[in-house]
């Protein structure tokens, strides 16, 4: 139904990702995660496929002035298996500041292989047909990445939503570097190696042309959210 990125943030294997990665759509609906037949899996390097269950899928608050609920696009998944132990990233719930340098991990969206080896390979050489077939099944992603991208927080805005019983704060910030499709849910990391944000989407801009006035394309920026809202959850847990 859906797929995307995520990262382990606790030693017990708990995963942080974007809520829309879990459901495949926004806004998040309760039935998206309540369906008994839904199964969720996560794959980590050098680890077997692990099945997960939803602990949190979007932080939602109703505000009278809006016709729809406000939803923060974050999800927490916990492993169904007991005694899971995985390497994890440290989360810093404090938002980055304007001008901060951060890092993202992904792929470069490159469509051409190094040295264009797919074009100069001798097709009748032993093993070449199998190699080309493997590329069509994902090997090209290995040949054109992975990649660490550096970015600067170019714009940041605090969103605050309140009702009589609850107040939620979340910072939305733009990074001046683009990420590939499927990067939603991935971490934004500061120079200390701490996760300070979550990738939610690629920024989109108009590329209007006479033949296609409604054409939109990725702008080269990435939209992220801070993990400030997790402080609300930790306080409730206490």
Write out the DSSP string of 140-169: HHHHT--EEEEEEEEEEEEEEEEETTEEEE
Q: What is the mean pLDDT of the chain?
A: 82
**Cβ-based neighbours of 117, under 8 Å, separated by 6 or more:** none
82-86, 125-129, 220-224: the lowest-pLDDT one: 82-86
Q: Which of 17, 13, 55 is closest to 186 using CA atoms?
A: 17
* pLDDT, position 141: 61
* pLDDT, position 187: 94
Q: Is the pLDDT of residue 234 over 60?
A: no
Q: Which of 158, 166, 171, 159 is closest to 62 using CA atoms?
A: 166
Task: Dump pLDDT digits (tens) for 56-102.
Answer: 888 877 777 777 777 788 899 999 887 778 889 999 988 899 999 99
**What is the length of the chain?**
238
Task: Dump pLDDT digits (tens) for 91-101.
Answer: 998 889 999 99
Task: Dump pLDDT digits (tens) for 18-54.
Answer: 999 988 888 888 888 887 788 889 988 878 888 999 8
For the chain, the straight-line distance linking the first and the last C-alpha, in angstroms and rounded, comes to 35
* pLDDT, position 153: 94
Place of tokens 């944000």: 197
Please report, rounded to a whole number, the percentage of residues in the chain having pLDDT higher than 90.
21
Q: Hey, is 176 helix, strand or coil?
A: coil
* pLDDT, position 238: 33
> Which of the pair, 24 or 187, is modelled with greater confidence?
187
């Amino acid at each position: 139904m859906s797929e995307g990125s995520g990262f382990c943030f606790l030693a017990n294997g708990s995963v942080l990702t974007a809520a829309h990665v879990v459901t495949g759509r926004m806004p998040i609906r309760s039935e998206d995660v309540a369906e008994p037949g839904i199964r969720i899996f996560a794959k980590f390097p050098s680890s077997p496929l692990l099945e997960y269950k939803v602990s949190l899928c979007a932080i939602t608050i109703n505000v009278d002035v809006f016709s729809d609920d406000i939803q923060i696009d974050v999800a927490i998944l916990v492993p169904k298996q007991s005694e899971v132990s995985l390497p994890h990233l440290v989360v810093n719930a404090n938002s980055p500041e304007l001008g901060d340098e951060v890092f993202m991990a992904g792929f470069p969206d490159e469509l051409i292989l190094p040295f264009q080896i797919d074009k100069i390979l001798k097709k009748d050489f032993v093993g070449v047909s199998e190699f080309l077939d493997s590329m069509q099944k994902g090997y090209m992603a290995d040949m054109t990445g992975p990649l660490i991208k550096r970015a600067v927080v170019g714009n940041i805005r605090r969103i605050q939503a309140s009702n009589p019983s609850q107040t939620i704060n979340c910072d939305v910030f733009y990074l001046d570097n683009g990420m590939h499709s499927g990067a939603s849910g991935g971490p934004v990391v500061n120079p200390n190696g701490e996760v300070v944000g979550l990738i939610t989407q690629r920024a989109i801009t108009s590329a209007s042309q006479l033949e296609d006035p409604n054409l939109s394309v990725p702008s080269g920026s990435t939209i992220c959210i801070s993990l400030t809202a997790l402080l609300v959850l930790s306080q409730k847990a206490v």
